[in-house]
Structure 1
Amino acid sequence: MKNLALFSNQNSFISKSWAYLRNLKELFPFAPILLLLTVTCHQIDLQEITSRLEINYQQASLIRNISFEDNQIVYEVRKKKENKAQFLNEIINIYNEIEIGKCIIYCPSVKSCENLIIELQTKMSKEIIAMYHGELSAKQKSAVLFNWKSGKIQIMIATNAFGMGVNVPDVRIVIHTVFRFDATHFFIGNLVQESGHAGRDGLPAKAIIMYSRKDIRTIMGIYLL
């Protein structure tokens, strides 16, 4: 830690992170804070942050309105088939669109992952399908990731536990089987981050978001008759 080069911090506008960064600055006074990231920040906020962290305001820059759009990813929204057999067939048809590459299917819970993998394995080769979620042991996760990166696994059924640090270039399609948006699930951010697993090799890729009537009721806060 003696050779710490710089600090970077996400969610810099959250005040509790300021104390954390201030403590780091005291421990490593010669390491610069190079990059602070937040969703919303105005000039007056920058003044407060630099004051609290004892950063020279004249040396700080506020960079906003930069697009990080992935042009190779095509987003598609589909109404989810209510019939289970039709839903499974649609998943299989989507996967069959891929000539070379992998597919990630995100589910909202461990139980839904388990149900989907059982159902898909009755219609497809079991060897190419795997499941990843937070309840797997470290050994199980390691084995699944090894087979995923080596190409043995072509379809990954996962919760949002499958995300950070998983970098495989040849993912062609990412499917979200539900669309949720409420106070406890910051789904839009997760959707963008998870969809970003597709097309990392720069080749065309697709992100498919499925929605149901239940999802719409949740989003709109109304009940459809």
Structure 2
Amino acid sequence: MTNLNVPYEVAVIDEIQMMKDVTRGWAWTRALLGLMAKEIHVCGEPGAVDLVKSIMMTTNEDVEVYKYKRLTELQIEDSAVRSLDNIQPGDCIVCFSKNDVYSVSQGLERRRKKVAVIYGSLPPTIKLAQADKFNDPNNPCKVMVATDAIGMGLNLSIRRIVFYSVRKLFTNEVGNTEMGVISASAAHQIAGRAGRCNTQFEKGFVTTFKTEDLSTLKNLLSKSPEPISQAGLYPTSDQIEQYASHLPNA
């Protein structure tokens, strides 16, 4: 995210659809409303357009919408990977838990494959180092194992995205954790990391690890991302301190 205290001529907010995230959405909302810039470029999926427009109406901002098409082809494969023996150079296996990240990366290393690993709680410098290692055509590391953290702020040269699962743990609106199928929005965002423009691959591929997940993935990718109806909000430290000052005995 961009430092909110520095004035900019132009600022960029990427993955704006993350505003809907129950635990992290407030950071994108705060950036959208708090960036000190003359012009803000907001990048994200079409489902976020109406919400961003409605938020910007509250601050009397002018909103212009531009739509762009993907410049490279993305193909859904007709078969699942089924085994780590079938992992190829340029593959990124996307897992939705740290345990799966560890077990998959260890399984690949036992097969003498050099692996880059990225997950959300890694320090930014480590994430960038892992990304650089994977992107370097002269590095023997040709496979990546990652969580959906690869969809945020990293430029990766991925040939094929392999969904290790299409189900993950969610924190629902009342704060409880439950298992469910990922959204069409998440499927599009993650799959779209394969074969991106200006990488060494002119075409991207996507599939699943398990055969039983492939039809679900195809169905998700056939849908348009869901419209976003609400954004995350969270008070700043100053606001929390001010509120606490009114409740000295609480």
Structure 1 length as normaliser, TM-score?
0.60
Over 3 Å counting, the alpha-carbon distance change for 1:197 and 1:22 in structure 2 is closer
- Whether the aligned pair in 2 keeps the contact of 1:77 and 1:210 (CA below 8 Å) is no
Structure 1: 5+ residue stretches without partners? 81-86, 96-100, 218-225
The structure with the largest alpha-carbon Rg is 1
2:69: which partner in 1?
68
Higher RCO (CA-CA < 8 Å; seq separation 6+):
2
- Whether the aligned pair in 1 keeps the contact of 2:131 and 2:156 (CA below 8 Å) is no
Identity %: 17
| CA RMSD, Structure 1 to Structure 2 (Å) | 4.2
1:111: which partner in 2?
99
- Whether the aligned pair in 2 keeps the contact of 1:179 and 1:211 (CA below 8 Å) is no
User: Secondary structure of the residue that 1:161 maps to in structure 2?
Assistant: helix
Q: Which residue identity lines up with residue 9 of structure 2 in the other structure?
A: A
Q: Which residue identity lines up with residue 107 of structure 2 in the other structure?
A: E
- CA displacement 1:138-165 (0-9 Å, x = unmatched): 6654543342232331011111223323
- Whether the aligned pair in 2 keeps the contact of 1:5 and 1:32 (CA below 8 Å) is yes
User: Secondary structure of the residue that 2:190 maps to in structure 1?
Assistant: helix
Count the aligned residue pairs. Answer: 190
2:192 to 176, 192, 196: 196
1:130 and 2:112 are equivalent in the alignment:
no
2:151 to 163, 166, 172: 163
1:6 and 2:7 are equivalent in the alignment:
no
Structure 2 length as normaliser, TM-score?
0.56
Over 3 Å counting, the alpha-carbon distance change for 1:20 and 1:113 in structure 2 is closer
Q: Which residue identity lines up with residue 47 of structure 2 in the other structure?
A: V
Structure 2: 5+ residue stretches without partners? 21-25, 172-179, 217-250
CA distance in 2, matches of 1:19, 1:146: 30
- Whether the aligned pair in 2 keeps the contact of 1:78 and 1:208 (CA below 8 Å) is yes
- CA displacement 1:13-68 (0-9 Å, x = unmatched): 98x877865555xx55xx145658661556x995x555422236xxx5455xx463
1:207 and 2:212 are equivalent in the alignment:
no
1:178 and 2:165 are equivalent in the alignment:
yes
CA distance in 1, matches of 2:64, 2:6: 27
Over 3 Å counting, the alpha-carbon distance change for 1:76 and 1:144 in structure 2 is same
